[in-house]
C-alpha cells in the first residue's frame, strides 16, 4: 500500500489533476430474491445482536459492470448469455465485455490520458485479460499483475463499491 501511495503522490506532483485521470471499474451483484449484500455496511455495537439471516446457497442474481471517471460513466453493462439469461462472470465473459463493449465505448470519449483501475478478481487478472488491457492502456493500467499493482483491500480506491 505504501508503495502505491508514494507512486500516486509522485504522479500528483507532476500532474496536479492526476486524480481526474482515473477510470475506476467494478461489478455489482443484484440478488433477485430481495437479499441485499451488505459487505460494505458495518454496524458497531457494544453488544452482539445475534441476528441471523438465512440466504439461499445459489440465489438468482444480476451482475452489472460500469466504469466511472471525472468525465462521466461508461456502462452499465449487464452480463447475460445469448438467450438473455443472467450469467456468472468468468475470464472469457469479462474479456468479451472488454472487447465488444468497453473498448468501443472508450472510442466515444477522449481517454488517451486515462489510467484504468480494476480490482483483483481472478477474471480481471488472468494473463490474457491483462494483456488485452495493456494493448489498450499500455502502462496506464492499475491492477493486480498490471504495470501498477493495485493494493488489495483498498476500498478507498473503488468508489463504485458505493456507487453501484
The pLDDT, as a whole number, for residue 129 is 94
pLDDT for 72-112, tens place per residue? 899 899 999 888 888 889 999 999 999 999 999 998 887 78
pLDDT at 1: 67
* Top-confidence residue, 22 or 159: 22
Q: What is d(CA 44, CA 66) in angstroms, rounded to the nearest whole number?
A: 31
Buried b (16+ CB within 10 A) or exposed e, 16-55: eebeebbbbbbbbbeeeeebeeeeeeeeeeeeeeeeeeee
How does pLDDT run across 107-157, given as a tens digit for each residue? Answer: 888 778 899 998 888 888 899 999 999 999 999 998 888 888 877 666 555
Mean pLDDT check: name the lowest of 15-19, 33-37, 84-88: 33-37
Amino acid at each position: 500500500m505504501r508503495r502505491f501511495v508514494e507512486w500516486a503522490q509522485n504522479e500528483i506532483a507532476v500532474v496536479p489533476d492526476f486524480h481526474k485521470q482515473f477510470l475506476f471499474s467494478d461489478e455489482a451483484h443484484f440478488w433477485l430474491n430481495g437479499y441485499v449484500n451488505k459487505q460494505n455496511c458495518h454496524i458497531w455495537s457494544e453488544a452482539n445482536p445475534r441476528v441471523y439471516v438465512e440466504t439461499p446457497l445459489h440465489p438468482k442474481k444480476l451482475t452489472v459492470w460500469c466504469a466511472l471517471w471525472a468525465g462521466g460513466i461508461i456502462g452499465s453493462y449487464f452480463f447475460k448469455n445469448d438467450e438473455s439469461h443472467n450469467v456468472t462472470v468468468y475470464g472469457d465473459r469479462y474479456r468479451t465485455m472488454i472487447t465488444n463493449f468497453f473498448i468501443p465505448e472508450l472510442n466515444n470519449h477522449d481517454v488517451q490520458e486515462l489510467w484504468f483501475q480494476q480490482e483483483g478478481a481472478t477474471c480481471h487478472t488472468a494473463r490474457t485479460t491483462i494483456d488485452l488491457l495493456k494493448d489498450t492502456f499500455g502502462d496506464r493500467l492499475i491492477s493486480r499483475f498490471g504495470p501498477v499493482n493495485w493494493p488489495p483491500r483498498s476500498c478507498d480506491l473503488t468508489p463504485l463499491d458505493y456507487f453501484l
